[in-house]
Amino acid sequence: MKNTLENIENQFEMIQILNEEGEIVNEKEMPELSDDDLKELMRRMVYTRVLDQRSIALNRQGRLGFYAPTAGQEASQLGSHFAMEKEDFLLPAYRDVPQLIWHGLPLYQAFLFSRGHYHGNQMPEGVNALSPQIIIGAQYVQAAGVALGFKKRGEKAIALTYTGDGGASQGDFYEGINFAGAYKANAVFVVQNNHFAISVPVEKQSAASTVAQKAVAAGIPGVRVDGMDVLAVYKAVREARERAINGEGPSLIETVTYRYGPHTMAGDDPTRYRTEELDDEWEKKDPLIRFRKYLENKGLWSEEEENKTIDEAKEEVKAAIKKADGVEKQKVTDLMSLMYEELPSNLQEQMEEYKEKESK
């Protein structure tokens, strides 16, 4: 029995294309991406790093509410999202705001989401996405349903959802991948394994030595990929998308990554559960450093381009927070009218009461 388990676990070796020095170490796995695509991937990662720094600062100034830092996870987040098409449906978790923005949610609305304003959850027409899920793992069940919908309609589109290592220890995770597997639904399940569920290390969450191997029980492909390597992440997710739209069913992708910052800005102190050595070890694997080296060697990226992207990101953040400030505060009556098509009689009374109060 022990051998059987070891044989299974050994099949989930981590796939890497670009090493820490920015060298291609797995030429045959190299995805088909144009020079413009490569530059766009870099631009998105640099932009997102700036957005993260600015969001943390805005949160400390009391100008944002809920915020879950993203630095360290850019390759995992943006490489996977780059494999999606506009018609695909995105089901993010609370840390996946960057993917939502690149899928079409305007930045000022992402800021409103952070502030708990309902307009942050109203996807613009044509943006196929749900707002970030706070209930750990719940989006996995929803993704199975969306994916089955695509399958039944014969659409060449996927539902792609994200959770963390902690999410992969939840019941909803197993239900979602199992159901989608049974119906060969058009789903791609991504687990960003940043090694911690708040303060709980991944080793304490499960006896399984990888997340990817959990695909075996669901009878679907599982892939373990270097989550600090944007090329490897893109490749794995793009292939999973191809399988899904070709009727081959869902896949589970584990991206092995790390979050540099705290869990959220609500008072988490990572020094209480992580060592400085571990932080240093992961910062050496940084997704931006290795991809920048690779692109610079190809003559595709320069300090000038980097600075231009940083400035653009700062300007856009400034404009978006100003726009968010200008949005009318939400009222109690807004919540009532958005929740129901027809108000129940008891709420009709309250509606009148609050309209009266709000008019003063």
Ligand X SMILES: Cc1ncc(C[n+]2csc(CCOP(=O)(O)OP(=O)(O)O)c2C)c(N)n1
Active site includes 162? no
292 assigned to active site: no
Q: Which amino acid is at 336?
A: M
Q: Is 194 in the site for Mg ion (CB under 5 A)?
A: yes
Q: Are 69 and 335 in contact (CB under 8 A)?
A: no
H-state helical runs in the chain: 2-10, 35-60, 74, 80-82, 97-103, 107-114, 138-153, 171-182, 214-218, 230-245, 276-283, 287-297, 303-326, 332-339, 345-358
Is there a catalytic annotation at residue 259? yes
**Position with the least CB separation from ligand X:** 164
Report d(CA 319, CA 314) in Å as an integer.
9
| Nearest-approach distance from CB 94 to ligand X, in angstroms | 7
Query: Kindly report the CA angle at 166 between 164 and 170, in degrees rounded to 5?
Result: 110
What is the distance, to the nearest Å, from the Cα of residue 242 to the centroid of all Cα atoms in its chain?
A: 20
Task: Compare residues 283 and 315 and give the one whose CB is closer to Mg ion.
Answer: 283
Active-site residue identified among 54, 263, 290, 292: 263
How far apart are the C-alpha atoms of 229 and 257, rounded to whole Å? Answer: 9
Q: How far is the CB of 258 from ligand X (least distance, A)?
A: 10
- The number of beta carbons lying within 10 Å of the beta carbon of residue 153 is 9
Residue 267: CB atoms within 10 A of its CB come to: 7
Q: Which of 81, 241, 243, 259 is catalytic?
A: 259
Tell me how far apart the terminal alpha carbons of the chain are, to the nearest angstrom. Answer: 73
* Rounded least distance, CB 133 to ligand X, Å: 9
Q: Which is nearer to ligand X, 78 or 321 (CB)?
A: 78
Q: Which is nearer to ligand X, 194 or 251 (CB)?
A: 194
Task: Summarize as ranges the residues that interact with ligand X (CB under 6 A).
Answer: 95, 134-136, 163-167, 194, 196-198, 263
Residue 217 binds which one of ligand X, Mg ion, none, with CB within 5 to 8 A depending on kind?
none
- Give the shortest CB-273-to-ligand X separation in angstroms: 12
| Residue number with CB closer to Mg ion (100 or 197) | 197
Does 59 sit near Mg ion (CB under 5 A)?
no
Q: Which is nearer to ligand X, 167 or 221 (CB)?
A: 167
Enzyme catalytic residues: 259, 263, 273
Interface residues toward Mg ion, by CB under 5 A: 164-165, 194, 197
